[in-house]
Amino acid sequence: MAGAYKTGKYRNIFKEYGYPEEEIQKRVEDTFNTIFYGNDDERFYHEAGDDMGYMEDTGNHDVRTEGMSYGMMVCVQLDKKAEFDRLWKWVRTYMYIEDGPAKNYFAWSCQTNGKRNADGPAPDGEEYFAMALFFASKRWGDGDGIFCYSKEAQNILRECVHKGEPGHSGEPMWEPSNKLIKFVTNMDFSDPSYHLPHFYELFAQRAYEEDRDFWKEAAAASRAYLHSACHEKTGLSAEYADYDGKPHTGHQEIFGRHDWYYSDAYRTIANIAMDHLWFDADPWQIKTAERLQKFYCEDQKDNWDGVFLIDGTPLDEKALHPVAIIAVNAEASLAADGKYAKQCVEKFWNTPLRTGDRRYYDNFLYMFAMLALSGNYRIY
């Protein structure tokens, strides 16, 4: 099967497995409405004043570039321009860094009133901002100022690539020597779940012309990197990994432990599945998705909320985001052709959104899986 970029066709996995179309679309809409407009124990979108809004990380009670960029991507996929523009204006008002080494990046964490908790960025926010803005430009057209979406996206990507060069102070978000995204700009290791080759393929067409070759090389570099970062038997990846793909064991005194398959890492298989859906560029992705589903459905069928080393060794911990695991295991079915694909999708369909303090991360991954599996996570 050729990727959706060439065919224009997006699989509706739910429909393939027999769910009625009306019911599928209702689930997508209900998921959005719960996250954005549900009760106080459900939603985490909040309007701010007449023309802004933010997504609250309900576990940490802050606003992060991760969540704001995710919210923008959800909105552009579902044609929710009013909410998209509210989120983007909040980002540009409170998160945009106007001077210093991180100039033109976005502060990765703010309080809900807009006061900054951080002076620097997190690269996953910038890459999602750029892609969401490019899609907004295609769906709705460019406006004025900060709502000239395509220009804003191009400017973000220019900073990510060229910082550190003459005339560009600060640190780039991609390591120039290997074209791999960094975990943070001033450290020399990566986060496998930040790797979005399906975005970089599109950046290679939409970024400023002088940057396009870089993004084409970055897409190839990320696909190759994921081969090293995902375990050959389980398909699991670490939260943080060195440039050779091995789990990163350093910096625990700063960040804590991240050499295991835990919260951040769940996104990796979802990203692999999306790259397969959009571009179908790497047959390895199919086998990796199947290995991960086998690991959960066969090897750990009663331990989906466990925590593991990437070789599958169980640890004496419980997952902080168990609903996220169910969501990404289902999203893997966009790539997996094995016998567990349907089982993972059914488990997800029968799982409700999470409520309570930790719902933010789980429910964002739930929303993305719902979009992807219903054929509603598209290139614009």
Q: Which of the 8 DSSP states describes residue 191?
A: -
Q: Which residues are catalytic?
A: 66, 264
Residue 93: inside a domain: no
DSSP of 221-286: HHHHHHHHHS-TTT----SSB-TTSPBP---HHHH---SSB-GGGHHHHHHHHHHHHHH---THHH
Summarize pLDDT for 232-267 with one digit per residue, the tens: 999 999 999 999 999 999 999 999 999 999 999 999
The pLDDT of residue 167 = 84
Residue 302: inside a domain: yes
The pLDDT of residue 237 = 98
Closest CA to 163 of 183, 185, 184: 185
Residue 140: inside a domain: no
Q: Kindly report the backbone phi and psi dihedral angles of residue 321, in degrees, each rounded to the nearest multiple of 5, phi listed first.
A: -135, 70
pTM over 0.95: yes
Residue 216: inside a domain: no
Residue 313: inside a domain: yes
Summarize pLDDT for 72-84 with one digit per residue, the tens: 999 999 999 999 9
The pLDDT of residue 252 = 96
The pLDDT of residue 1 = 55
Residue 235: inside a domain: yes
Type of residue found at 50: D
Task: Classify residue 39 as left (phi > 0), alpha (psi -120 to 50) or beta.
Answer: beta
Range of 322's domain? 1-43+228-380
> What is the number of domains present in the chain?
1
Closest CA to 170 of 118, 119, 127: 119
Residue 57: inside a domain: no
The pLDDT of residue 161 = 97
The pLDDT of residue 168 = 86
Residue 319: inside a domain: yes
CATH number of residue 5's parent domain: 1.50.10.10
Residues of the chain with pLDDT under 70: 1
